[in-house]
Amino acid sequence: MTKLESRRLCIHYGAKQALHGIDIAIATNEVLALIGPSGCGKSTFLRSLNRMNERIPGTWHEGQVLLDGKDIYGRDVDPTDVRRRVGMVFQRPNPFPTSISKNVAYGLEIHGTKSRSEIVGIVEKSLRAAALWDEVKDQLHKSALALSGGQQQRLCIARAIATEPEVLLMDEPASSLDPISTGKIEELVQELKASFTIVVVTHNLQQAARISDRTAFFLDGRLVEVGETKTIFTSPVDRRTEDYVTGRFG
Amino acid sequence: MTDRRALLEGAFRWAVTCAGFASAGAVLLILGFLVAESAGLFLSQAPGEPGYPVGSFLTETRWLPIKNPPVFGLVPLALGSIVVTAGALVIAVPLGLAAATFLAEVSPGWLREVLKPTIELLAAIPSVVIGFVGLSVVAPAVKSLFHTQSGLTALTGSIALAIMSIPTIVTIAEDALAAVPMSYRDASLALGANRWQTTWRVVVPAAAPGLLAAVILGAGRVLGETMAVLMVTGNAANITLDPRDSVRTITATIAQEMGETARGSDHYHALFALGAVLYLVTLATNGLASSFLERARRRMSGAR
Amino acid sequence: MTEIVAHTLLVLATVVVLVPLFFVLVLLFVRGAPLLGISFFTEPPRDMNKAGGIMPAAVGTLLLMAGTAAISLPVGVAAAIYLREYAPDNRATRLVRLAILNLAGVPSVVHGLFGLGIFVILLRFGSSLLASWCTLALLVLPTVITASEEALRAVPDSLREASEGLGATKRQTILRVVLPAALPGILTGAILAMGRAAGETAPILITGVAFFCPELPHGVFDQFMALSYHLYVVATQVPHVPPELPYATAAALIQIVLATSAVAVVARAHLRRRRLA
């Protein structure tokens, strides 16, 4: 079942065109990795999936991004609704300067639909799902900034999944972390895929090979090739893909 | 988004936008208001009663509001303001620029971190306190040193205002000097110049627009000061260029006479006219200083 | 000129610049010392302002500080939010900033004239605490806006991103994340504004301060006394005043003003250091 799909998606920053006609379909509960050299547009594409690219003034698009068949850029669609259903984890952990529990509860509080007791329960559930609960359960009121980098990133993941989005976008989630934390994040992705559809941008090819079901290779703002991860890495169709995954450039 | 949400969103945006534009609009509102109230002096109030002629206001050399008919002359007051300001600048500009140069080019970093806030503290001393100190300490000194009748002279005012404007000059001039890129200094030193030569021949000329802006802003500050001059300049609307004479500034006149003036009378409107002149002059000096600061910024944004 | 001579002159100039600060402080506190006791602050003036204390003036100054902050803070912070979070990068915004900069340059006596015309007369507040509050609030508004904008600017954009990424609207992001993070800087601006309000004389002279009030103000439409004006009165309008009295009054005023400024300066330096760490 297709969860998220882009059709002929083009993204422009003013006069400059960053993405040219991207067509990708992402299935429910799959992990899709986006790879490619710096500046190829993979992060731009990721951000277009939850309309975060709109934060940059002068951005405009052509084409569509369909979530469960409905265009998220439709005229009657509110970006904040989209972001509730499509969550995001950023490259550098960015917890709010408040307590751990307040961080996780933030998404719930702004929508204002849950009661205090419900929120407490969801905070625990999210922290467990992010494999952080055991480490912080006795210090939920301590500042999030006191945690290590790896813990902060897992906190950001807990925060993102607390609102139960359907899709999780991750922009190089482990690139600023040490190897042990990176391993934990990768494990987490495998566990989370049971409940979410996940799209991960990574510049680490081994990581892409380890955690994803399918992989998409971007180059110069174009989608060169997308397919099963095993195929992309062992017998890619396009010559450029092969050059990239074998390390001849990028 | 729910309708309620959208409403809150829009209301919030509207509220902050209003605050922004209202704060900006205040400047225009003040100007408009001053001009409107000044007009009452010059326009005819009743048939058979012509308004006070603008030419007379601008050229008359006396300020006699209580005489019948009253005489409203800008000249003695403007001259008073100018003499006191000029005197203050003569004292404040060399001292201020020199101190700024010391802070920016000579003093070690830790000392600068201590001295800069200290000088800012000087700026915080209220005008009335400086006026009082001027009255109790500077005036007697001036009286004995220069053998004036009382110590309440333009000179006394200039000294008091110099103390008040030096922090402004130092702060802005120091910023201007610090903004000169390191590469200029490196180039000069590499050619064998010593630090003073580098400062005097390279850094200061490079920072010139910013330094000029500092002086202009200092002058603006001095022109607008009220209490200090009110207390120490003697309040005599004389026409004189001698700093040992008593003078009266535009600001002191407004502050002193407004309390005793009937609302809506010619005197009242005349004071507003003084305010309008003062305001226009400070707008001009601010504009001039801004353009120099802009020029300075443009100069610096090229090199690293 | 040789380097040594030049540098010596520069040092001398700096010393000369700093001398007045210490001179004023020492002068005021030494000559005012005989009177600076608790009773000076708690008793009202007696004998036509020739004796007694400064209590109503001190209370008046504190009231001025509080009211000015209460009016200027909401407007100033809102304007700063507009400038940092909503205003587009175009000519109109540049004009707004220019106008606010010019507002900062308006002489205090002109503020007084404006306050007289608008608040005292047009809006019929009369010569009152309220009129002076509004006048001073306008005077300190640029200070509040500048400090608040600096504080908002210091909040890292990654926090705004995180909040909007979670589906928060711009308003929610500002109210729940940005403002709380910017609070220390905003408070610094408020303290600076209050310090300035305490020291101003010309605006309140024209809009509401009184030579002598038999009682403390009951409501916002009453007149009031203030330390700054009281100093002016005691120094120039009252004959045969014991010499310590104006010094002590000035010392009291300076205590308030310098205390607020010092707190603000230290806070700002501390915040700047913390941000860079």
How far apart are alpha carbons B108 and B195 in whole angstroms? 13
And the tokens for C268?
């700002």
Torsion sign (Cα): A199, A200, A206, A207:
negative
| d(CA C219, nearest CA chain B) in Å | 22
Q: Over range B169-191, report the average pLDDT.
A: 89
Q: What is the pLDDT, as a whole number, of residue B304?
A: 42
Chain C: give the shortest CA distance to residue A81, in Å.
6
User: What is the reported pLDDT for B300?
Assistant: 74
Instruction: Look at the block and give the residue holding tokens 């404007």.
Output: B165
CA distance A221 to A142: 43
Chain B, residues 62-91, CB within 8 A of chain C, namely none
Query: Which chain B residues are within 8 Å of A78, Cβ to Cβ?
Result: 1
pLDDT above 90 coverage of chain A, percent: 77
**In chain B, what residues touch C28 (CB-CB under 8 Å)?**
129, 133
Average pLDDT, chain B: 88
Return the partners of chain B (3 or more C-beta pairs < 8 Å): A, C
Would you state the pLDDT for residue C275?
Answer: 60
Facing C87 at nearest CB: one of B20, B126, B290 = B20
Nearest to C158 among A87, A94, A163 (CB): A94
> What is the chain C residue with the closest CA to A153?
C162
- Name beta bridge partners: A9: A22
Mean pLDDT of chain A: 92
For residue range B145-156, list pLDDT tens digits in order: 888 888 888 999
Question: What pLDDT is attached to residue A198?
Answer: 96
Question: Looking at beta carbons, which residues of chain C come within 8 Å of B16?
Answer: 78-79, 81-82, 85-86
CB spacing of A52 vs C168 below 8 angstroms = no
Q: Is the pLDDT of residue B302 over 70?
A: no
Closest-CA distance, A235 to chain C, in angstroms, reads: 37
B189-198 residue pLDDT tens = 888 888 888 8
**Which of C167, C169, C181 has its CB closest to that of A163?**
C167
pLDDT of B104 higher than 60: yes
List chains adjacent to chain A, taking adjacency as at least 3 C-beta pairs closer than 8 Å.
Answer: B, C
Amino acid in position A122: I
Q: Is B113 on the interface with C (CB under 8 A)?
A: yes
Q: Nearest-CA residue of chain A relative to B2?
A: A78
Tell if the CB–CB gap between C167 and A55 is shorter than 8 Å: no
- The arithmetic mean of pLDDT across residues B227-254, rounded, is 89
For residue A54, give the nearest of B237, C161, B31, B91 by alpha carbon. C161
Say yes or no: C46 contacts chain A, CB-CB below 8 A.
no
Determine whether the interchain pair C10/B223 forms a contact, defined as Cβ–Cβ distance below 8 Å: no
ipTM of the complex: 0.89
Cα nearest neighbour of C178 on chain A: A96
Domains of chain C (ranges; CATH) run 49-276 (1.10.3720.10)
A201, pLDDT greater than 80 = yes
- Sign of the dihedral defined by the CA atoms of residues C228, C231, C232, C233, in that order: positive
DSSP code string of A182-205 = HHHHHHHHHHHTTTSEEEEE-S-H
- pLDDT of residue B224 exceeding 80: yes
pLDDT-derived band of residue A80, with 50, 70 and 90 as boundaries?
Answer: confident
**B interface test, pick of A75, A78, A85 with most B CB neighbours within 10 Å:** A78
A80:C158 CB<8 A: no
Q: Spell out which residues of chain B touch residue A80, defining contact as CB-CB under 8 Å.
A: 1
Render pLDDT for A120-147 as a digit per residue (tens, 0 to 9): 999 999 999 998 999 999 999 999 989 9
How many angstroms from the chain centroid is the CA of residue B249?
13
Q: Chain A within 8 Å of C90 (Cβ-Cβ)? A: no
Q: Are A87 and A168 in contact (CB under 8 A)?
A: yes
Distance CA(A53)–CA(A81), nearest Å, equals 15
Nearest chain A residue to B3, by CA: A78
Query: Residue B136 pLDDT > 50, yes or no?
Result: yes
A177 to each of A92, A149, A191, C98, how far by Cα in Å?
9, 6, 19, 45
Model confidence, pTM:
0.86
Instruction: Tell me how close the Cα of C270 comes to any Cα of chain A, in angstroms.
Output: 18
pLDDT tier at B50 (50, 70, 90 boundaries)?
confident
What is the model's pLDDT at position B40? 84
* B143-174 core/surface letters (b: 16 or more CB in 10 A; e: else): beeeebeebbbbbbbbbbbbbbbbbbbbbbbb
Residue range B228-257: mean pLDDT, rounded: 89
What are the pLDDT digits (tens) for A41-75?
Answer: 999 999 999 999 988 888 999 999 999 999 999 98
* Chain A residues near residue B1 by CB distance under 8 angstroms: 78, 80-81
What pLDDT was estimated at residue B121? Answer: 84
- Are the beta carbons of C166 and A90 separated by less than 8 Å? no
Rounded mean pLDDT, B224-250: 89
d(Cα B33, Cα B3) in Å, to the nearest integer? 41
Q: Do C165 and A163 touch (CB under 8 A)?
A: no
Query: Residue-wise over A172-203: b if at least 16 C-beta within 10 A, else e?
Result: bbbebbeeebbebbbebbeebbeebbbbbbbb
- Is the minimum CB–CB distance between A78 and chain B shorter than 8 Å? yes
Q: Which of A55, A97, A110 has the CB atom closest to C168's CB atom?
A: A110
Burial (CB count <10 Å: 0-12, 13-18, 19+), residue A71: middle
B257 close contact with C: CB closer than 8 A: no
For residues A155 and A33, what is the distance between their CA atoms, to the nearest angstrom? 22
| Interchain contact B4–A (C-beta under 8 A) | no
pLDDT lower than 50: segments of chain C: 277
Q: How confident is the model at residue A166 (pLDDT cuts 50, 70, 90)?
A: very high
Q: Which of residues 133-152 of C touch B (CB under 8 A)?
A: 138, 141-142, 145
Minimum Cα–Cα distance from C175: chain B residue: B12
To the nearest whole percent, how much of chain C has pLDDT over 90? 54
